[in-house]
Amino acid sequence: MYSFKNDYSEGAHPKILEALIASNLEQTEGYGEDHYSQKAAWLLKEMIGRDDIAVHFFVGGTQTNLTAISAFLRPHQAVIAAATGHIATHETGAIEATGHKVITVETSDGKLRMDHIQSVLDGHTDEHMVSPKMVYISNSTEVGSIYKKAELEGLSQFCKANNLLLYLDGARLGSALTSKENDMTLLDLGRLTDVFYIGGTKNGALMGEALIICNDFLKEDFRFHIKQKGALLAKGRLLGIQFEALFKDNLYFELAEHANQMAVRLQDEIKKLGFSFLISSPSNQVFPIFPNSVIEKLQEKYAFHIWEKVDDSYSAIRLVTSWATKEEAVSNFVKDLNNIVF
């Protein structure tokens, strides 16, 4: 059974494991104040082109979103997200458990646009309802789409004009930035968002996300929030070591590019067989539409998520490739699909 269910089924890239082993018996400061975490933060500041950003390392994405969003919002304030947004669908109500409402908007491709946000602002006008304060987006989104630079620039300008915070979830940021359709860099994210994070868990790290706070107003006392939410890791060097390994020699982008290449190959071969897709995804998530009978046959050898029922006979599935996906696995899937169909 080979899994295309997600991009974190495997452990970690060998270079990361080597770095962890090499430093294993070294004594360092705790709670992210070690020299590895400081070096990793410095590398990220260089790539983002800003010395004034704050860099904080977390174990996972939900932990990052929960800590950051609850810290940046006052008790009566809410966050706006696409209906497919991770904080609205796959985090067990973590944000709302802190007392902050997630206001969701239906979108066609998982991306928030200015008119979506304006519709929320128009419907929340006084103290009898929550006050929208933050816009939450993901890049790539939960349905594989990515934001182009012009789109993010538009959102950034709109948020500034309306006194809103712009937060970008980068769990799959590597895949977005190495997509053939991408025209953004980390420098653009540092310029256009108030806060974003760089996901390591889904791109070769054993675990770990790097939260980047760009807005000076949001930096104060943030470590207190991390500690209070149980997210300040005593052995913080485990995260710093991984991010140093990912970014010192461009490994992060190489791994993401490989995942995208495997997804493109899957998508191209499935297209050749005449199948359509639920959404056009330029990242490492692919959403082909198959007859249910074909899906049942594929499930005998492959694990994947059935994403959405299209009609009584057809469903869309999600295939996710990773830094560790082998070309052989893609070839075997395509071969087996071909044998099932023909």
**Residue-range domain boundaries for the chain:** 2-6+252-341, 14-251
Q: Are residues 202 and 183 in contact, defined by beta-carbon separation less than 8 angstroms?
A: no
Q: Give φ, ψ of 154 to 5 degrees.
A: -65, -45
Q: Which CATH architecture has domain 14-251?
A: 3-Layer(aba) Sandwich (3.40)
| Sign of the CA dihedral running 46, 51, 52, 55 | positive
Q: For residue 227, what is the enclosing H or E element?
A: helix 222-228
pLDDT category of residue 342 using cuts at 50, 70 and 90: confident
| 73-124 pLDDT, tens digit each | 999 999 999 999 999 999 999 999 999 999 999 999 999 999 999 999 999 9
Q: Report the amino acid identity of residue 236.
A: G
73 CB-contact burial (10 Å; exposed 0-12 / middle 13-18 / buried 19+): buried
What are the pLDDT digits (tens) for 252-266?
999 999 999 999 999
The C-alpha angle with vertex 203 and arms to 202 and 207, in degrees rounded to 5, equals 60
Give the whole-angstrom CA distance, residue 40 versus residue 303.
35
Q: What percent of the chain has pLDDT over 70?
A: 100
Nearest of 237, 190, 199 to residue 47 by alpha carbon? 190
DSSP track, 106-163: --SSS---HHHHHHHHHH--STTS-EEEEEEEESS-TTS----HHHHHHHHHHHHHTT
What integer is the mean pLDDT of 28-54?
Answer: 98
pLDDT band at 269 (very low <50, low <70, confident <90, very high): very high
Q: Using one digit for the tens of pLDDT, what is the confidence trace for 215-245?
A: 999 999 999 999 999 999 999 999 999 999 9
Q: Could you tell me the fold of the domain covering 2-6+252-341?
A: Aspartate Aminotransferase, domain 1 (3.90.1150)
Whether the link from the prior residue into 140 is cis, omega within 30° of 0, is yes
Question: pTM for the whole thing?
Answer: 0.97
Q: Sign of the C-alpha dihedral, residues 104, 108, 112, 117?
A: negative
DSSP notation for 63-76: HHHHHHHHHHS-TT
